[in-house]
Structure 1
Amino acid sequence: MQTVTIQIRIFPVNASVLVEMGHEYIRAVNELTAVAEASGTFPKLTSKNVNANLPSAVKNQLIRDAKSIHQKTKKQMKRPVLKKRVYYVNNQNYTIGNDCISFPVVIDGKVQRLVVPALIADREREMLSNSKHGLLRVVQKSTKWFVQISIERPPEQVSGDIAMGVDLGLKVPAVCVTTNGKTKFLGNGRKNKYIRRKYYVNRRKLGRLKKLSAIRKQRGKESRYMKDQNHKISRQIVNMAIQEKVLVIKLEKLADIRKTTRTSRKNAKNLHSWSFYQLQMFIAYKAALAGIKVEKVDPAYTSQTCPSCGQRNKAKGRTYQCGCGYTAHRDRVGAINILRQPVADGNSLSA
């Protein structure tokens, strides 16, 4: 079974109720973990023993959360204090309708079922209908509200023997090549570098003015832009894999990517801050949902080895030329060689 999380936008009429429930939830969890830390053991509790203005079903969930945090604390020797507001509801106590989601809250001291309008896309609706539902988590991001639902579903079965190699980089974020000869260049590296440079310059200006809150906001905008780009690129990669009936996607082993990517003074900052790991994780979980396996390979010399004769040559600019007459884009050469590489350490990436 595969476990994935679906995020659905909700539109609460009275958001202050959710704010209050979230604060009460983390307050109660922090209180229970503090008591457990002081006594050295987690107490036996029921919802009646928990002093919190929350529904009993939610109290039972926060007891489980607090116990889990305490068990981890014993290994880490430091009790974490929750600060970010959150609200969990187990799968027996929420309901998903066509355009709404309902779950229990406390209003004016009474437990009530809050019905919240929701925007559920066809893809999410299909995934929810063919899966086992887990915890529901209510979160706020900036001024928007979401529910995140954990689901378990069996992996899809893919038939075919086509494989795909994916080369990651800065100037071209991703190049895909399949064993049946299809090639695709994805992303806009030039635009990405411009956006990163713009945010960097703005942060320096704000730093000189000592506007720390504005700097933090800039970093948040930049990370959201990066995440959006990685989501779009990974979706295009997996869509191409589905269309071409790809059984296996091969990616570079990230431990070596900074050694194998060309690092000029101009792009050094971009290389060490670009979220290659995040992009690979997005590819992995989207591929898993489609029943496609993801494997890691050693990327050493993949951009230098000629796919035709096997000789090593350093590319000049973006063009790779070999003495045997073979010529191609250097990133396409990298993707071809990644496709042909054996799996690193003989193990596939767990998606």
Structure 2
Amino acid sequence: MKLTVKFKILPTKEQEQYLKETLNEYISTVNNIVQSMINNRHIKLTSKDIKANLPSAVKNQAIQDAKSVYRKYKKTNNLPILKKPVCIWNNQNYKINDCLSFPVLIDGKSQRIKVKMLLSDYQKQQLNNKLGSLRISKKSGKWIAQIAVEVIEKQNNNENIMGIDLGLKVPAVAVTSNGKTKFFGNGRQNKYIRRKYKTLRQKLGKAKKLKKIKQIADKEQRWMKDQDHKISRQIVNFAIENNVSNIRLENLTNIRNTARTSRKNEKNLHTWSFYRLAKFIEYKANLEGIKVEYVNPEYTSQKCPYCGELNKARDRKYVCKICEFSTHRDRLGAMNIMKAPVVDGVA
């Protein structure tokens, strides 16, 4: 399984200048190579054929990226022009120890620079796996490194299943086949943060501070993404604690049309990424050898898991009119998701 480890790097002012020059030269070189391939109709190139202020190893990588762009051009006949400064080194041309070390061109010669990194314990752990290419770019004034890693998935031979219901007031509810239930996240906090940023954007809009509005939007998205990471990690840890082998989630194709929400929560529904949270759960679960399946969400909020009767919940409480089974509405959803048919087959 392939993952991308994304982390900040802290270049000195001198190193930052080298990086700016390298990234701009790299993207310009890729565009020039693609244009040359189109004009000359051949893609057999070596680093000796490329005139650019880049180390030979980086030139070779630029050729590979240009070939990829050229192949896309041949399929679509649309020429993509790369604009965002970026540079890529293959796994043989960079090293990770206490610092991130990679070659750049300094005074016409290829020299390695060692740049400080900010790594979490989780990131350090992932970088112990087989490493792929290194990609460096600059976003919102910060230098970002991304490294592709090949992770070996664990084997899981347990038989317990866990259903997860995603929502707004309660971001996630999990129910396991061995009878455990847990609620994750704080819907009220999420709603408060979104309302806070919305009010701030309106004030900045009236003041015509457009650049500041973009910065605020980026900050809000980072906060939301961080919440999804934390919730998905807690869910997978809960699955591990309960020896779960399969996690079941709703098929999210039409969740924005079918999710249970009031008119006042409609805007929140369209700003919260159910899909991203589901994908975070999926890839973290897969790393632990836990299979993730998607099920048909039909009647999961109404069907009694014991007698099958359809009932509508009142507020947050569900009560079956036939067998009088009662529970939290979102817990009911997780129970039914756990038992529902898998989208591509029968559970």
TM-score range, shorter chain: over 0.9
User: Helix, strand or coil for the counterpart of 1:344?
Assistant: coil
- Residues 146-295 of structure 1: matches in 2 within 5 Å? 146-295=144-293
Instruction: Give 1:132 shift.
Output: 2.1
1:304 aligns with 2:302: yes
Counterpart of 2:47, as a letter, is S
Moved more, 265-274 or 136-145: 136-145
Deviations 1:73-94 (A, max 9, x none): 2223322222222111101111
- d(CA) in 1 for partners of 2:155 and 2:295? 23
Partner of 2:337: 338
- d(CA) in 1 for partners of 2:125 and 2:231? 23
Counterpart of 2:315, as a letter, is G
Structure 2 alignment gaps of length 5 or more:
none
- Residues 54-93 of structure 1: matches in 2 within 5 Å? 54-93=54-93
Partner of 1:47: 47
User: Helix, strand or coil for the counterpart of 1:156?
Assistant: coil
Partner of 1:110: 109
User: Helix, strand or coil for the counterpart of 1:160?
Assistant: coil
- Residues 19-34 of structure 1: matches in 2 within 5 Å? 19-34=20-35
Counterpart of 2:136, as a letter, is V
Instruction: Give 1:51 shift.
Output: 1.7
TM-score, normalised to structure 2, is 0.94
Does the CA-based 8 Å contact 1:42-1:67 persist in structure 2?
no
- d(CA) in 2 for partners of 1:38 and 1:137? 28
Instruction: Give 1:263 shift.
Output: 3.0
Counterpart of 1:45, as a letter, is L
- d(CA) in 1 for partners of 2:214 and 2:123? 32
- d(CA) in 2 for partners of 1:309 and 1:83? 60
Which stretches of structure 1, 4 residues or more, deviate above 6 A after TM superposition?
none
User: Helix, strand or coil for the counterpart of 1:267?
Assistant: helix
Instruction: Give 1:148 shift.
Output: 1.3
Instruction: Give 1:347 shift.
Output: 8.7
- d(CA) in 1 for partners of 2:312 and 2:257? 15
Does the CA-based 8 Å contact 1:252-1:296 persist in structure 2?
yes
Deviations 1:243-271 (A, max 9, x none): 21211110110113223312322011111
Same amino acid, percent of matched pairs: 56
What is the count of residue pairs matched by the alignment?
344
Deviations 1:99-130 (A, max 9, x none): 2121111112111011122244443333333x
Partner of 2:2: 3
